[in-house]
């Protein structure tokens, strides 16, 4: 019989030992038109990106503090696959069974990564995701992880160290991840820093609905006061051109949102000129190439490369971001 208190203490110790280290700043050999130097804060140190790893870690710590987890108790989650990979990794580290309830159109490569971490994938229709998760959790008498993007305190706990790292060195930060968009916006007043949030227009509409990349399938209504004046729309074509230019510049492979942030910073107006430095919180395309492309259906945003043709996204800007036009 496992001592419950001892198991919880040991599990907490393991999670705290896995604190994400400070991620490096990569200086770009580019000067913005306003004269500022441009940096990338590299969050690509693991296949799903350290942002998802940070959130998953905080999620398990919160569940432990609320006495929801115990030895051998299954964890059931309907997080999107890229987030589920990080959750499965932590569940495996703690010796907990993990079941990912995923939509039936989930790419095979992502479900294989979940299974590599000893997780089990349960495929269902997208519109039955919530009900199926509750059903599986009830059958297995497990703890259910879902709707984590609505938990502001949890997301802020994950984001604050990353934001603080950038703020120690820079005066303005731009984010490529919608999860970070929400968090940096929500934390802006508390942190008392000028943070510009730049975003690909394919992840928002005029009602300020934002999909949290890697964490949610449904559109989420983000409080407009958190994002007022901080949302910059960049076309998918410009984002694609930006990420290809950035990839060529660095020799790395970044996500489409990183390209959108790069174009925004390089071609943005004078509102950014007060900053001494600019930094993009960037995650590479890595193993989750599905993050690179998105198409809008009637009600959902689906993040899979297989859902549309690549050619639709490969339109180039008239000239590369940051380069002057020539006659």
Q: What is the pLDDT of residues 215-266, one digit of tens each?
A: 222 333 333 333 333 334 556 666 677 777 877 887 777 766 677 667 766 7
Q: Decide which of 2.70.150.10, 3.40.50.261, 3.40.50.1100, 3.10.105.10 is the CATH code for 52-149.
A: 3.40.50.1100
For residue 304, is it left (φ>0), alpha (ψ between -120 and 50) or beta? beta
277 within 8 A of 172, measured Cβ to Cβ: yes
pLDDT for 227? 36
Q: Dihedral through CA 209, CA 288, CA 239, CA 39, nearest 10?
A: 100
C-alpha 84/C-alpha 311 separation (Å) is 29
pTM of the model: 0.61
**Measured between alpha carbons, how far is 8 from 18 in angstroms, rounded to an integer?**
16
**What letter would DSSP give residue 204?**
B
Specify the pLDDT at position 293.
29
Q: Given CA atoms 297, 280, 82, 149 in this order, what sign does their dihedral have?
A: negative
Beta-bridge partner residues of 234: 200
Q: What is the pLDDT of residue 168?
A: 59
Residues 6+ apart with CB under 8 A from 190: none
pLDDT value, residue 254: 73
pLDDT, averaged across the chain? 64
- What is the distance between the alpha carbons of residues 48 and 43, in angstroms, rounded to a whole number? 10
Give the separation between CA 246 and CA 26, rounded to whole angstroms: 12
Rg (CA), the chain: 20
Distance CA 34, CA 275 (A): 9
Topology match between the domains 4-47+152-313 and 52-149: yes
Which residue in this structure is represented by tokens 């997080």? Answer: 79
155, containing H or E segment: helix 152-167
Q: What is the pLDDT of residue 40?
A: 73
CATH of 4-47+152-313, one of 1.10.3720.10, 3.60.20.10, 3.40.50.1100, 3.10.20.30: 3.40.50.1100
Contact indicator for 275, 194 with CB cutoff of 8 Å: yes
Residue 118's φ and ψ, nearest 5 degrees, are 70, 15
Domain ranges for the chain, please list them.
4-47+152-313, 52-149
Residue among 142, 18, 138 at smallest CA distance from 71: 142
Using 50 as the pLDDT threshold, list the residues of the chain that sit under it. Answer: 149, 169-232, 286-327
pLDDT score, position 278 = 64
Looking at the chain, list the stretches that DSSP marks H as alpha helix, in order from N- to C-terminal side: 4-17, 50-65, 81-94, 108-116, 129-140, 152-167, 178-191, 224-227, 236-250, 256-267
Q: For residue 274, which of 201, 166, 194 has the smallest C-alpha distance?
A: 194
Per residue in 3-16, pLDDT tens?
Answer: 688 999 999 888 88
**What confidence score (pLDDT) does residue 167 get?**
58
Phi, psi torsion values for 319, nearest 5 degrees: -150, 155
């Amino acid at each position: 019989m496992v001592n419950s208190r001892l198991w919880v203490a040991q599990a907490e110790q393991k999670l705290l030992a896995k604190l994400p280290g400070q991620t490096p700043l990569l200086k770009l050999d580019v000067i913005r038109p306003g004269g500022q130097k441009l940096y990338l804060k590299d969050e690509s140190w693991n296949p799903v990106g350290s942002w998802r790893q940070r959130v998953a870690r905080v999620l398990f710590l919160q569940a432990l503090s609320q006495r929801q987890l115990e030895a051998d108790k299954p964890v059931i989650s309907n997080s999107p696959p890229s987030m589920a990979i990080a959750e499965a990794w932590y569940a495996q580290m703690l010796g907990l069974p993990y079941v990912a309830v995923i939509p039936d159109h989930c790419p095979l490569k992502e479900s294989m990564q979940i299974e590599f971490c000893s997780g089990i994938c349960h495929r269902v229709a997208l519109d039955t995701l919530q009900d199926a998760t509750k059903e599986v959790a009830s059958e297995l008498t497990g703890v259910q992880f879902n709707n984590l993007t609505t938990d502001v305190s949890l997301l802020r706990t994950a984001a604050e160290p990353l934001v603080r790292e950038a703020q120690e060195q820079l005066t303005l930060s731009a984010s490529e991840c919608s999860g970070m968009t929400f968090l940096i916006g929500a934390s802006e007043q508390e942190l008392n820093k000028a943070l510009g949030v730049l975003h690909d227009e394919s992840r928002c509409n005029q009602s300020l609905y934002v999909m949290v990349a890697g964490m949610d399938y449904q559109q989420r209504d983000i409080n407009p006061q958190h994002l007022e004046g901080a949302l910059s729309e960049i076309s998918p074509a410009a984002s694609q051109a930006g990420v290809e230019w950035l990839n060529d510049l660095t020799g790395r492979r970044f996500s489409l949102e990183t390209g959108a942030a790069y174009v925004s910073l390089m071609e943005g107006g004078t509102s950014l000129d007060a900053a001494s430095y600019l930094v993009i919180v960037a995650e590479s395309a890595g193993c989750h190439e599905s993050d690179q492309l998105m198409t809008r259906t009637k009600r959902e945003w689906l993040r899979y490369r297989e859902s549309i043709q690549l050619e639709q996204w490969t339109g180039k800007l008239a000239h590369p971001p940051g380069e002057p036009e020539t006659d």
